[in-house]
């Protein structure tokens, strides 16, 4: 009998200890508990949406445009009846986009093309409040703009780091497509560092298959933790609908632009005063280069920093401050990121021989 009791006590102690260990593990690692999900996949991103969606706003802009009078193009009516029959009529054009609250004091990031030329801008918060927004600054070269509203109790988004992204990471696009109301779409990072798309001067886009539709522009691309990793900007679509190829401006780039717009009202960028061209395999062969990395200078602006430093048309630039550059787009971005007045060292090939030169970058003309 005593043996049976001892066995039962041992069994009960084992169960209690096991339950205690399980409780501790689940308490500190709740993600290990996947009830009703035997596949091991995450079955909801509601926490990420709850954390980030209150920071995504609707941006409504209005522009005044003149419509020619119905008889303005008719020489007969202009000759005999004068201008009254050809007086232009004024019309308001409205457009919708999205934006992201980035501070408690009312700063909102959006796309330049969302508010470009606007005579009035109104922002709609997810809690139903609205406010007139003023433009702090715009940067057409990256298609970014910074707005500000005067409203209390705003919830800024948690800003992540786009350089931590990998192809295959889960991302969510949040915005107001077609003006139907705030919408969340789901996808992955399809590619990083997309450039030469003709969307803006400085391109380093995140490509995603999360649906980005008209009205999503300026909205948030967030990771699975609800942190901002990009500003949704454009979609590739011959038909005008989402085809699974969307582009977002990396948050690291957007953060730097925002800081300069707050500080200066504009973005101050480095400038060499040279025209770069990518190196094709044919050009690499003609110049007897070992690779297509770098760029060829096709023209030098007279009186510019490159001209003052002695750069010449035909010079091949392969490194900036000792680091190899892949192409002209990367070189443009790296020089633009240098504060005006910075001294940089360019290395490459001139007439078949290695050379290097120091250039003091100027501020890029607007």
Annotated catalytic residue 126: no
Q: Which residue among the candidates 52, 60, 139, 143 is catalytic per the annotation? A: 143
The active-site residue, picked from 113, 139, 190, 315, is: 113
Annotated catalytic residue 113? yes
Please give the pLDDT value at position 288: 86
In tens digits, the chain (366 residues) has pLDDT values of 555 566 556 555 666 556 666 665 555 555 554 444 545 567 889 999 999 999 999 999 988 776 655 555 556 555 555 555 555 566 667 778 999 999 999 999 999 999 998 999 999 999 999 999 999 999 999 999 999 999 999 999 999 999 899 999 999 999 988 878 889 999 999 999 887 777 777 788 899 999 888 888 999 999 999 999 999 998 776 655 566 788 999 999 999 999 999 999 999 999 999 999 999 999 888 888 888 999 999 999 999 999 999 999 999 999 999 999 998 888 988 998 888 999 999 999 999 899 999 999 999 887
Residue 18 is predicted with a pLDDT of: 65
Q: What is the 3-state secondary structure (H, E, C) of the chain?
A: CHHHHHHHHHHHHHHHHHHHHHHHHHHHCHHHCCCCCCCCCCCCCHHHHHHHHHHEEEEEEEEEEEECCCCCCCHHHHHHHCHHHHCCEEEEEEEEEEEEECCCCCEEEEEHHHHCCCCEEEEECCCCCEEECEEEEEECCCCEEEEECCCCCCCCCCECCHHHCCCCCEEEEEECHHHCCCEEEEEEEEEEEECCCCCCCCCCEEEECCCCCCCCCCCEEEECCCCEEEEEEEECCCCCCCCCCEEEEEHHHHHHHHHHHHHHCCCCCEECCEEEEECCHHHHHHCCCCCCCCEEEEEECCCCHHHHHCCCCCCEEEEECCEECCCHHHHHHHHHCCCCCCEEEEEEEECCEEEEEEEECEECCC
Question: Is residue 143 flagged as an active site residue?
Answer: yes
Q: pLDDT value at position 36?
A: 46
Q: Report the pLDDT value the prediction gives residue 33, as an integer from 0 to 100.
A: 47
Active-site residue identified among 55, 61, 195, 217? 217
């Amino acid at each position: 009998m005593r043996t049976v009791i001892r066995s039962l006590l041992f069994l009960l102690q084992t169960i209690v200890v096991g339950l205690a260990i399980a409780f501790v593990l689940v308490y500190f690692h709740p993600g290990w508990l996947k009830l009703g999900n035997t596949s091991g996949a995450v079955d909801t991103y509601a926490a990420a949406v709850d954390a980030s969606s209150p920071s995504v706003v609707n941006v409504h802009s209005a522009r005044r445009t003149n419509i020619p009078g119905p008889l303005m193009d008719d020489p007969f009516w202009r000759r005999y009846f004068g201008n009254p029959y050809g007086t232009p009529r004024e019309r308001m054009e409205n457009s919708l986009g999205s934006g992201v609250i980035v501070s408690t004091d009312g700063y909102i990031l959006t796309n330049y093309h969302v508010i470009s030329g606007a005579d009035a801008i109104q922002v709609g918060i997810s809690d139903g409040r609205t406010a007139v927004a003023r433009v702090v600054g715009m940067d057409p070269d990256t298609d970014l703009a910074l707005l500000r509203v005067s409203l209390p109790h705003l919830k800024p988004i948690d800003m992540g780091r786009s350089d931590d992204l990998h192809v295959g990471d889960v991302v969510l696009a949040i915005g107001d497509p077609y003006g139907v109301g705030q919408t969340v779409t789901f996808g992955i990072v399809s590619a990083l560092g997309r450039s030469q798309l003709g969307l803006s001067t400085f391109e380093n886009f995140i490509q995603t298959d999360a649906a980005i539709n008209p009205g999503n522009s300026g909205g948030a691309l967030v990771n699975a933790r609800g942190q901002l990793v990009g500003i949704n900007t454009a979609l590739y679509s011959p038909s005008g609908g989402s085809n699974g190829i969307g582009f977002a401006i990396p948050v690291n780039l957007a953060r730097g632009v925002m800081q300069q717009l707050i500080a200066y009202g504009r973005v101050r960028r480095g400038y060499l005063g040279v025209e770069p061209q990518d190196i094709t395999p044919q050009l690499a062969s003609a110049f007897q280069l070992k690779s297509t990395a770098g760029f060829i200078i096709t023209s030098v602006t007279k009186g510019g920093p490159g001209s003052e430093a002695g750069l010449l048309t035909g010079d091949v630039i392969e490194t900036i401050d000792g680091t190899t550059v892949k192409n002209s787009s990367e070189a443009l971005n790296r020089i633009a990121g240098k504060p005006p007045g910075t001294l940089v060292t360019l290395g490459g090939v001139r007439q078949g021989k290695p050379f290097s030169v120091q250039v003091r970058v100027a501020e890029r003309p607007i």
